[in-house]
Amino acid sequence: MLGKKLVTAQKRGETRALCLGLGMVACSMMMYFFIGITIVPFYTKSVWTTETVCKVLRANIKDKVLCPDGKGSEDEDIFLYPCLQVWVNLTASGQEVMLYQTEDTLERNPKCSYVPDKLENSKEVKARIETIASNFKKYHTFPCYYDPGGMQTSVILSRLYPPKGLLFAFLWPTLMFTGGCLIIVLVKISQYVSVLSAWQ
């Protein structure tokens, strides 16, 4: 009687472990799919792939202008903020080009090097932009990214999804997938050993 209870408990434990492993594999596949349709396209579309050194030529803050926060032209998508324009000398080619914070900055507003968040306070935005401008004037040389193919003449300060960030995004689903497969393999080995012991 006790043996039957132990066998039943063992089967229940194996079933739960197997369900856990299959669940982990399924979740990791969903995470792979989500990363593949969100992060990977932005990474592959980015043409600013080569790092070089940029030297600041001038950093000017224009008066508050209407700058769109997105591709739409509705009034709710437009707000006032000081427009910071940073021009740099590209060491790789010696050209004078405009610097943008990220790829997204150029898409949101090609007139300004920095686009603040719409929800931020106007005073905080002004103080932040002034601080950024002073930092550019203080640190004249810094690393930046440019398009080696020449499709984009502008440069960016940092990439939204650098190679390390992409690898880090794939790290967790890979660990989950490996753990799920390991659990399934261990359960199958345990079942095989149990059957072999019962046969002997």
The pLDDT tens digits for 171-180 are 999 999 999 9
For residue 5, give its domain range: 1-46+164-199
The residue count of the chain comes to 200
Whole-number Å distance between alpha carbons of 174 and 33: 12
The rounded distance, in Å, linking the Cα atoms of 73 and 82 is 19
Could you read off the pLDDT of 89-102 as tens digits, one per residue? 887 677 889 999 99
Between CA 146 and CA 157 the distance in angstroms is: 9
| Percent of the chain scoring above 90 in pLDDT | 20
Over the stretch 47-74, which tens digit does the pLDDT of each residue have?
888 888 899 998 888 866 555 544 444 4
Task: Say yes or no: 155 and 175 in one domain.
Answer: no
Claim to verify: residue 152 and residue 54 sit in the same structural domain: yes
pTM for the predicted model, two decimal places: 0.68
Indicate if 110 and 82 belong to the same structural domain: yes
> Both 130 and 156 in a single domain?
yes
Are the beta carbons of 101 and 135 closer than 8 angstroms? no
Using one digit for the tens of pLDDT, what is the confidence trace for 106-128? 888 888 898 887 656 778 888 88
Nearest to 68 by CA among 121, 123, 122, 105: 105
The span from the first CA to the last CA of the chain, in angstroms, equals 20
Q: How many structural domains comprise the chain?
A: 2
**pLDDT score recorded for residue 95:** 81
